[in-house]
Amino acid sequence: MPAPKRKPAASAKTAPARANKIEDKLARLGLRSDMDLVLHLPIRYEDETQVVPIREAGFMIGHPAQVEGVVTSCEIQFRPRRQLVVTIEDQSGQLVMRFLNFYGSQTRQLAVGNRVRARGEVRHGFFGDEMVHPAYKIVLEGAPLPTVLTPVYPSGEGLSQTLLRKAIAGAMARVDWRDTLAQPLLASLELSAFEPAVRLLHNPPPEVDENALADRSHPAWMRMKFDELLAQQLSLKRAQVARRAKGAAALPVIGALSDAFLKKLPFELTGAQQKVLTEIRADLRASFPMQRLLQGDVGSGKTVVAALAAAQAIDSGFQAVLMAPTEILADQHFRKIAAWMQPLGVSVAWLTGSLRKKEKAEALARIESGEARLVIGTHALIQEAVQFAKLGLVIVDEQHRFGVGQRLALRNKGLDTTAALDSAHTVPHQLMMSATPIPRTLAMTYYADLEVSVIDELPPGRTPVITRIIDQNRRDEVIERVHAAALEGRQVYWVCPLIEESEALQLQTATDTHATLVEALPDLQVGLVHGRLKPGEKQDVMDAFTRGEIHLLVATTVIEVGVDVPNASLMVIEHAERFGLSQLHQLRGRVGRGSAASICLLLYQGPLGGTAKQRLMTMRETTDGFEIARRDLEIRGPGEFLGARQSGQAMLRFADLETDQWLVEKARTVAQTLLRDDPATVEAHLARWLGMREDFLKV
Ligand code: ADP
Ligand code: MG
């Protein structure tokens, strides 16, 4: 149902053209319907309920005061610059109002003899007490004072508070105030009714607890937050139902390929891998699209599980695609998986932006004809030219590195092609993988339409990485240690600092570090890998490292995700204080992959700031990715933790996922009950809250 059209906010006297302009400005704030306006809540308040004598206002330095007086002079002065200077007077004293920007009409408004109510901070100027640019209005003697606090709204360009207040007051007079939630339910949740809560927030009485309003702990705010979270949960559940209503090609065959693949693996699956595989296999058999997030700490063995999911798609006669965020990682997947699959007769295609024209055309043709059963690549896969013959499964590795849009784009590759085969088969199954675990509350609010599988066990035989924090000025000792380790046959990563401002600078540092290490360690093979190398060169270096021909690999963060060289067992990270927590964890995950005890040395440049210190301590204390994610969330807060592109923009206006966690839980339970028992309430609630944000959440 479309939201009711907002009538022009201003009075009937307003010319239509102007009203339109105001509507446009309101629309830019997302305010289209009356209910949108009503739910546009103040960010703070001004107390205009009292007038103080001018003399007293002079003592309230640093606090805004409201005074009332009669104009005794009003003149435009030209020194030191053009300005309007107005003096007002009450029984207690006089005050200058100074306007550096003003309209000519203000001299008439503020003519001598008029009565003015002005609000601002008094300062002691050269010519006595004055207010610079006070808010003011002309009043008649004895005009009543407001009885409620004056709201200040979030505003946009060209929208004055006066205009917004008028528009909102108008909307409040027109909307349907009926509560979307029944009284008994509200009582059981100890929540206030909708109308009084909203009215209080727009126009609180002067005796209200202003702190509770400011930190949004007031019961009226609780009701708003609950409603918002409930709407979010309802819309997410809806999205889930809608997904289930879509068709997908069932991939029921766990056949020859899967069996042969498992037989050829040089290891047994861990219990945790087995468990998630069972979950994924069941999903793939269904004829509605899977949307599953596979979480597992760095090194927990997600790739094999992904390959087995792909095998099921292929066994069932469909294509599977695997997209990775970097060329190095995609390449590694390609080599590993192709090495497993090709001997079993599966044709694997490889697609990245750096392919030569001819190679690309070849790959595209194989993908389009369906000859390539498995396709592996980078975001080049999203490019328009890529057409699948029969795409059944989309796998996205390190999914948090991609935006929602990119993931959807890849999934949509499956839309038209499978539809041609059978109109019921519309969307491919989707498996997303991440080593950045999303804590429960976040998962519940951001990913409600996502099944989650967790690999909560590492393959056997790993020894946990020992982490040491070392001052940068002990770098020489560290180089000694690297030397000794290399002579023992260990391989070493040396990670160069992240330089946010400049990739060129980052590159320079890596090159310099490489040069100094080559010089300091003449008997070792020292390699260098960074983002600016051509993919082929990058690969050559990685290959040499994998073969053990390079002892020490100097690298930028290009090695951050996924790179898997089991013999590497020492890592040095320079300027570790500049890295984020999850990035450090990812980097550290490059060692500790084999059976040798691994060490990670975090070099830092003091003095350390508070959060940098917290991050490094966390790294020293734990290797558990879930624990690290939890601390990271604690340090950074959910918005930053997820990143804007991941969270899909300010989805929650009122609720705060950290402080309001308990409300999230309540909203979730209530959403489930309402969806089951009370569709009318669901409709009403969504109509009220989602009017302006249908794009609430698109996962
Ligand atoms: P991640 O979950 O970080 O993507 P990978 O899939 O790259 O981890 O696996 C890390 C390493 O562990 C790889 O070398 C892989 O072959 C190996 N591995 C995976 N599963 C097992 C297992 N069950 N037993 C032994 N090694 C395994
Ligand atoms: Mg991986």
- Whole-number Å distance, alpha carbon 398 to ligand 2 midpoint, is 7
Closest-CA residue to 425 (of 318, 302, 326): 318
Q: Using one digit for the tens of pLDDT, what is the confidence trace for 512-556?
A: 999 999 999 999 999 999 878 887 888 889 889 999 999 999 998
CB 589 within 8 A of CB 562: no
- According to the model, what pLDDT value does residue 55 have? 92
Cβ count near 429 (within 10 Å): 30
* pLDDT at 438 (0 to 100): 66
| Nearest bound ligand to the CA of residue 298 | 1
Ligand 1 atom nearest to CA at 461: 25
% of the chain surpassing 70 pLDDT: 88
Domains annotated on the chain, with CATH: 50-145 (2.40.50.140), 256-455 (3.40.50.300), 465-622 (3.40.50.300)
Least confident of 26-30, 298-302, 577-581, 604-608: 26-30
Q: Are 295 and 452 contacting, i.e. CB atoms less than 8 angstroms apart?
A: yes
- The average pLDDT across 235-249 equals 79
Rounded CA separation 489/569 (Å) = 10
The pLDDT value recorded for residue 11 is 43
Which of 261, 262, 265, 267 to mutate for ligand 1's pocket (most ligand atoms within 8 Å of CB)? 267
Residue 300 CA neighbour count, 13 Å, CB half:
28
pLDDT digits (tens, 9 = 90+) for 44-78: 998 889 999 999 998 887 788 999 999 999 999 99
For residue 339 the two structure tokens come to 């090495």
Lowest mean pLDDT among 21-30, 111-120, 472-481: 21-30
Task: At 674, list the tokens.
Answer: 């309402």
Cβ neighbour number for residue 644 with a 10 Å cutoff = 11
Q: Which of 82-86, 151-155, 541-545, 687-691 has the lowest mean pLDDT?
A: 687-691
Q: Which amino acid is at 626?
A: F
Q: Give the model's confidence band at 418: pLDDT under 50 very low, under 70 low, under 90 confident, else very high.
A: very low
Beta bridge partners of 186: none
pLDDT at 80 over 90: no
Minimum CA distance residue for ligand 1 atom 17: 301
267 in ligand 1 pocket by Cβ < 6 Å? yes
* φ, ψ dihedrals at 77, nearest 5°: -105, 155
Task: Flag whether pLDDT at 437 surpasses 70.
Answer: no
Confirm or reject: Cβ of 300 under 6 Å from ligand 1.
yes
pLDDT tens, 188-225? Answer: 999 999 999 999 999 999 899 989 999 899 999 999 99
pTM of this structure? 0.67
pLDDT digits 0-9 by tens, 124-149? 877 789 999 998 999 999 999 999 99
- pLDDT at residue 221, as a whole number: 96
Which residue has the least CA distance to atom 23 on ligand 1? 269
Q: What's the confidence (pLDDT) of residue 15?
A: 52
Q: Whose CA is nearest to atom 24 of ligand 1?
A: 459
Q: Is the pLDDT of residue 272 over 50?
A: yes
Query: Ligand 1 in contact with 270 (CB < 6 A)?
Result: yes
Identity at 605, one-letter amino acid code: Q
Distance (Å, rounded) from C-alpha 139 to C-alpha 136? 9
Q: Is residue 666 scored above 80 in pLDDT?
A: yes
Q: What single-letter amino acid sits at 695?
A: D
Distance in Å, CA 258 to ligand 1 centroid: 17
653 φ/ψ sector (left φ>0, alpha ψ -120 to 50, else beta) = alpha
**pLDDT for 639-664, tens place per residue?**
555 543 344 333 677 887 767 878 88
Task: Determine contact, residues 660/225, Cβ cutoff 8 Å.
Answer: yes
Say yes or no to pLDDT of 17 above 80: no
* Beta-carbon contacts of residue 593 (< 8 Å; ≥ 6 apart): 299, 462, 564, 565, 566, 568
Q: What is the pLDDT of residue 445?
A: 60
Q: Which of 265, 297, 300, 587 has most ligand 1 atoms within 8 Å of CB, for mutation?
A: 300
- 435 CB under 6 A from ligand 1? yes
- Other beta carbons less than 10 A from residue 147's beta carbon: 9
Separation between Cα atoms, residue 420 and residue 425, nearest integer Å: 9
